[in-house]
Amino acid sequence: MALTTRPRGTNDIVPGEIELWLELEEKIRQVCHAYGYQEIRTPMFEHTELFQRGIGDTTDIVEKEMYTFVDRGQRSITLRPEGTAPVVRAYLENKLGSGALPVKVFYYGPMFRYERPQSGRYRQFTQFGLEVLGSADPLLDVETIVLPLEVYKACGLTGFTVELNSIGCASCRTAYREELIAYFEPQVDGLCSNCKSRLHRNPLRLLDCKNESCQPILNGAPNIADYLCDDCADHFTQVRTYLDALEISYKINPRLVRGFDYYTRTVFEVTYSELGSQNAIGAGGRYDGLVEECGGEHTPAVGFAVGVERLLLALKTQDKLQAGAKRPSAYLVHFGGESKIKAAQVAYFLRSQSLWVELDYLDRSVRAQMKAANRFGSNYVLVFGETELANNQVLIRNMSDGQEQLQILDELTELMKILA
């Protein structure tokens, strides 16, 4: 059974579906190019410490969801559960900050988390994200919000909502942290076990709890906006000013804190209500302390990530991003022997000109080959019959209207023009 069943939480992307993925990826690349982002590719596994220090050891990802193992060199290795920490490591190791600033990169690839599989959520999933390192400009916060919206719009998606908040910096969060603890401690018995364990380690994470029993208590929690320092308050005001100037709709969500400890100041989430309770189709924020936490100099940075499976799920609810059906330019029907050799020669030439052509590899009858051409949806059929070959010709049949014509085999460039 294990030989013919994929592991739980994984998915096969088969022909007929992969076209949608490729079309979406192309739209992503087009938008990133317009905004000046260059692609970066990092390893699919990193040293475990990178995620422990970068993401935070009180997060669900580090505590419960990472695929971690000890390799033969007795090193603790983890399959990457997210893309930001690896990009920061690559930024430092490759000294990307020594060039033009800010550094603007995007990534697209598989991530791994051991979580409960559900619709649009897998243990191996594909993530698209971008990171900007080297500037604290609030306009870049806005750019990281706008860019994924441009991807959604390019795909035709409508009906999404931008949720926005500021969680301040380390200095202004200190007072807020103490206020949260003071608020939750008298009500600790009404909290779930996760919230109880995090109360003194990372009380902000309580605001992100989805447990229904905790919601009445969380709804009365202090608002972080009342504790922002002047610099953080000004930064958040500028972010909103730019969004308003660009006519980007958003709503303030004071309980939005995101699930990673590295976030500072601006955090945002894009939601799509048709996906139900797991409705996020993109999220991100500023992380001005992460580069320093990973051993570099203080470097302001901001980024976001989109789960590709969830985005595709959202697009399918609106019948968007329907990739055009791909079909061969021609199916080459042969009779074996010299006919098959000539068909192989013509197929080789046409393929060298980037035309998709198919021919029979099962030595089927001509009738069976014609049926195969129909199943492929081939635009044309080329018949290498005995009479045609004797005259150095091939019979071309247009499968849409049934019209036929003969073409001299020495004039393959003319044949290519017909099929293209």
Single pTM value for the model:
0.85
Provide the 10 A C-beta neighbour count for residue 85: 24
Pairing of strands 380-383, 330-333: parallel
Q: State the residue for tokens 């799509």.
A: 272
Distance, in Å, from the CA atom of 395 to the CA atom of 191, rounded to the nearest integer, reads: 77
- pLDDT of 324: 60
- pLDDT of 307: 92
Closest alpha carbon to 276 in 120, 65, 116, 114:
120
CATH number for the 18-169+229-317 domain, one of 3.30.930.10, 3.40.640.10, 3.40.718.10, 3.30.70.250?
Answer: 3.30.930.10
What CATH number is given for 330-419 in this structure?
3.40.50.800
Distance, in Å, from the CA atom of 85 to the CA atom of 55, rounded to the nearest integer, reads: 7
For the chain, helix, strand, coil in percent to 5 are 40, 20, 35
| 410 Cβ neighbours under 8 A, 6+ residues apart | 392
Ranges of the chain with pLDDT below 70: 1, 57-58, 259-260, 320-325
- pLDDT of 323: 63
Sheet of 68-70: strand order equals 45-47, 76-79, 68-70
- The CA distances from residue 83 to 106, 157, 174, 325, 420, in Å, are 10, 24, 28, 33, 41
The tokens for 315 are 């697009």
- pLDDT of 321: 66
- The CA distances from residue 325 to 7, 19, 21, 217, in Å, are 30, 8, 13, 52
Pairing of strands 280-286, 301-307: antiparallel
CA dihedral 385, 388, 389, 391 (to 10 degrees): 160
- pLDDT of 260: 66
- pLDDT of 185: 87
Distance, in Å, from the CA atom of 66 to the CA atom of 68, rounded to the nearest integer, reads: 6
Instruction: Taking each helix axis as running N to C, give the angle between helix 308-317 and helix 18-34, from 0 to 180 degrees, rounded to the nearest 10.
Output: 110
Q: State the residue for tokens 């243990």.
A: 123
- pLDDT of 131: 97
Distance, in Å, from the CA atom of 197 to the CA atom of 184, rounded to the nearest integer, reads: 12
Distance, in Å, from the CA atom of 290 to the CA atom of 82, rounded to the nearest integer, reads: 14
- pLDDT of 26: 93
State the burial class of residue 180 (Cβ atoms within 10 Å of its Cβ: 0-12, 13-18, 19+). Answer: buried
Phi, psi of 167 (to 5 degrees): -105, 15
Q: Where are the domains of the chain?
A: 18-169+229-317, 330-419
- pLDDT of 261: 73
